[in-house]
Structure 1
Amino acid sequence: MPALPDSGSSSEASMMVSTDGSGTLTSPSIHLFQADMDGFVEDGSLDDNVSESSLSHDDIEPRDPVGQCMDFSKGFTFTEVNTVRASTRKVVCCHFSSDGKLLASGGHDKKAVLWYTDTLKPKTTLDEHVSMITDVRFSPSMPRLATSSFDKTVRLWDADNPGYSLRTFMGHNAVVISLDFHPNKDDLLCSCDGDGEIRYWSINNGSCTRVFKGGMAQVRFQPLLGRYLAAAAENVLSILDVETQACRQTLQGHTKPIDSVCWDSTGDLLASVSEDSVRVWALGSGSEGECVHELSCDGNKFHSAVFHPTWPSLLLIGCYQSLELWNMSENKTMTLPAHDGLITALAVSNVTRLVASASHDKSVKLWK
């Protein structure tokens, strides 16, 4: 893992570096899904009038819209390679297909868009939801994707022929916040809602197979083995046994609500993100549930994260307007200007090695 520089900045990228593991920009922050679920407008979407101006700060420098590049050492670079105006409203989720050829995004305009990743040209638009889309996930084993929405439904789509949804999963009594496909159980889809209810769905017959509690902000299956389901609710991260739904571990340490979680590609590490801290947990044999890395926010609030596809010791953190690159092994960070709004979601393709970022500034960007 290349070392981050100890000090200084690049004039080309307006980078700011700290050696104490803290951020360098300051700005207010908002949670993507407010705890006050009664605060969204009649169509079920969060009010877009929660304006970006309320997030602005006089001491934040204007952002250069062109691609930025950083070179730590030993030839390591991380640069913007493409960008697209993905929506007329805020984008809140994105995900790559398993082969890396498609990227899906969705958000406040109630639509999901499939993009060809090599050109960022749109393939198709999925527009059957009647409220904002909260999450979008591709199946790791089939040409399928699923979307969750404030309209309390989950929809399943054929990625190859996505004209109409294949199924609509109904049963949640609150807005659906997150969903995920199991990595090797082709018939298993999971979703969670704003009341903390988790539902397992049969993809084949469209039925709900199990209902239990424990996830509110985000649910993510452990990759590869799929032994665990990570479920975040308030400031607690639960590790649930996929077979029995028993809670194997309750990971505590966050003081603010957890906004997002992400596994590394091996399924041994799990990162949880709240606005004031990021915690990385070891779930491999012999160290299950141990917090092995922690980064406290000292400036720009955190919101989303993803492990770098090539450097396992590098965690990319989405903040307001910027990406924080955290070298966990050395506990050093670097700030990269990236968007004009909150970076609501990050995704990675282990095939193409691309990273995608989605933002309230209505854009999606690709990085490599």
Structure 2
Amino acid sequence: MCRQKFLFSLNQHVNWVRCCRFSPDSRVIASSSDDKTVKLWSVENQQCIHTFNEVTGFVPHFDFHPSGNCLATGSTNMSIKLWDLRMNRLLQHYGTHTGPVNKVCFHPSGYFLLSASEDGTLRIFDLVEGSPYYTVFGHKGSVTSIAFSSTGENFASGGSDEQYL
């Protein structure tokens, strides 16, 4: 096992941090907080390089697009937002869930986005068309976990109903 050591701390959020992830190229770390912001951090100089303040509700989860040029956020206010990381602006807003969005996950191709909500549904969005594509009604409670297979041919979900689809 390799030795690990502490490198640095990033601390500009003013409330709990709910999610943090490296970008696909590992040059940026994104973080979301109960302070209703999503921050982008430079790994190289450990500085905040952008803050998205247009977030309503807190963001319990987000995912980087496979290209690293876009970020999808799911929010407690039932919305999903796609953010352009090159221009630091909102690209798309989806408000189709009727409960808080717990998870979002990009398809490996980058053409689709999967979301999981407390309303018990999974939604697939066609990012090329910019519209909802399909809704799955398989859970009887909150959907808390989702993932695509590495090929993108399948996805799995788990929820508070103790089901795995």
Q: How many Å separate the matches in 1 of 2:141 and 2:96?
A: 20
Is 1:187 the counterpart of 2:30? The answer is no
Q: CA deviation at 1:243?
A: 1.3
Q: CA deviation at 1:220?
A: 1.1
Compared CA separation, residues 244 and 300, structure 1 to 2 (3 A): same
Is 1:175 the counterpart of 2:16? The answer is yes
Q: Is the 8 A contact 1:196 1:233 kept in 2?
A: no
Q: CA deviation at 1:297?
A: 4.5
Q: Is the 8 A contact 2:139 2:163 kept in 1?
A: no
Name the structure 1 match of 2:156: 316
Provide Cα deviations, 1:53-97, integer angstroms capped at 9, x if missing partner: xxxxxxxxxxxxxxxxxxxxxxxxxxxxxxxxxxxxxxxxxxxxx
Counterpart of 2:126 (choices 261, 282, 285) is 282
SS in 2 for 1:168: coil
The amino acid across from 2:159 in the alignment is C
Name the structure 1 match of 2:104: 261
SS in 2 for 1:323: coil
Counterpart of 2:134 (choices 293, 298, 301) is 293
Gap regions ≥5 residues in structure 1: 1-122, 124-159, 325-368
Q: Which structure has the bigger radius of gyration?
A: 1
Provide Cα deviations, 1:156-193, integer angstroms capped at 9, x if missing partner: xxxx432x221111111010001121213x42111110
Q: CA deviation at 1:260?
A: 0.6
Is 1:204 the counterpart of 2:61? The answer is no
Gap regions ≥5 residues in structure 2: none
Q: CA deviation at 1:298?
A: 5.1
The amino acid across from 1:280 in the alignment is I
Cα RMSD for the two superposed structures: 1.7
Is 1:227 the counterpart of 2:69? The answer is yes
Q: How many Å separate the matches in 2 of 1:297 and 1:240?
A: 29
Compared CA separation, residues 273 and 191, structure 1 to 2 (3 A): same
SS in 2 for 1:231: strand
Report sequence identity in percent.
Answer: 23
Q: Is the 8 A contact 1:195 1:216 kept in 2?
A: no
Q: How many Å separate the matches in 2 of 1:298 and 1:212?
A: 32
Name the structure 2 match of 1:41: none
SS in 1 for 2:14: coil
The amino acid across from 2:126 in the alignment is A
Q: CA deviation at 1:307?
A: 1.1
The amino acid across from 1:282 in the alignment is D
Q: Is the 8 A contact 1:179 1:220 kept in 2?
A: no
Provide Cα deviations, 1:183-226, integer angstroms capped at 9, x if missing partner: 13x42111110122111111112111212222611121101x12
Q: How many Å separate the matches in 1 of 2:107 and 2:93?
A: 19
Q: CA deviation at 1:238?
A: 0.4
Report which stretch shifted further, 246-255 or 186-195: 186-195
Q: CA deviation at 1:252?
A: 1.3
SS in 2 for 1:195: coil
Runs of 4 or more above 4 Å deviation: none
Q: Is the 8 A contact 2:109 2:152 kept in 1?
A: no
Per chain length, whose mean CA-contact separation is higher, i.e. which structure has more relative contact order (CA < 8 Å, sep 6+)?
1
Q: Is the 8 A contact 2:139 2:159 kept in 1?
A: no
Compared CA separation, residues 311 and 219, structure 1 to 2 (3 A): closer
SS in 2 for 1:170: coil
The count of aligned residue pairs is 159
The amino acid across from 1:283 in the alignment is L
Compared CA separation, residues 201 and 311, structure 1 to 2 (3 A): closer
Q: How many Å separate the matches in 1 of 2:159 and 2:148?
A: 15
Q: How many Å separate the matches in 2 of 1:301 and 1:192?
A: 21
